[in-house]
Amino acid sequence: MEGRTRILTLKNGYHVWTRCVGTGPMPILLLHGGPGGDHEYLECLAERLPLDRYRLYFYDQLGSYRSDQPEDRSLWSVERFLEEVEEVRQGLGLDRMVLFGHSWGGMLGIEYALSYPDHLAGLVISNMVPSIASYTEHLNELREALPPELQSQLAAYESRGDYQHPQYLKVVERLNQEHLCRLDPLPVAVARSLGRLNVEVYETLQGPNEFVVTGRFKDWDRWADLPRIRVPALILGAQYDTMDAQALVLMSQRMPLATCAICPNGGHMAMWDDPEHYYPPLLQYLEGLRPF
């Protein structure tokens, strides 16, 4: 992906990688998922959005592939990552911007909108509900849809903490194929991002996998704060996502200036496995924002 690369120094002395693609007047800062993932799977947005209208700012969060990867578990918290986003905005010189967050990046987007609303011209929350309790409730529904023998296998291995057993990983992979990205084989960019996951960051915040949440953000809940998010917002979801589509609709209804679009054929990475339904509402939303 061609663009203008900058390495930003954070206040804690560590460095994060950024790249700007496009020449348009509207800046969009992109927050990747994970936690501990990287930006590469989001590069598909540069192929779908008109780059004469938008400037896309990709960045790898601290701990991610192209940025510094310190071995300090105290750094892996929602609060510190939130302040990192603000430092990146300042470092890039973005006074007003559209913030796009996917999955874990959507959690950071919600947090940023609550803490720094004055810098937001718009907010896109892609495939992220406003509480981990809502997330795990839906995960349990997805697990219960498995054949009983597979449910029993998951429960048995999890009771022993044996999250790396080949049979356990086989069942998790089946869930990933149905709900994470529904394309087979995986797109190269998606496979690379998943393969570069920083396991320490991921397990500290999330847990052992997408379907077991035991990490530091397990009690995160912003349902009651949604009415405070008063920037124009778009909530994107998908029918086969790990995030409950009904919860996403309700989320948009509780935000004063939000709309919601659910991709009927997509999973958690609907920008890849249901692009025909993902990009039209995104483009319509961006076109409707006040010009820069």
Among all residues, which ones are annotated catalytic?
A: 103, 241, 268
Burial of 239 (0-12, 13-18, 19+ CB in 10 A): middle
Place of tokens 């396991």: 199
Distance CA 2, CA 22 (A): 9
SS3 225: helix
Instruction: Give all strands (DSSP E) within 40-191, no chain letters.
Output: 54-60, 97-102, 120-126
| First-residue to last-residue Cα distance in the chain | 25
| Among 108, 109, 83, 92, CA closest to 19 | 92
Please name which of 206, 270, 284 lies closest in space to residue 240, comparing C-alpha atoms.
270
Using a 10 angstrom Cβ sphere, with 0-12 exposed, 13-18 middle and 19 or more buried, the burial of residue 65 is buried
Q: Is the peptide bond before 185 cis (omega within 30 degrees of 0)?
A: yes
Q: Can you say whether residue 193 is alpha, beta or left, with left for phi > 0 and alpha for psi between -120 and 50 degrees?
A: alpha
- The DSSP letter of residue 256 is T
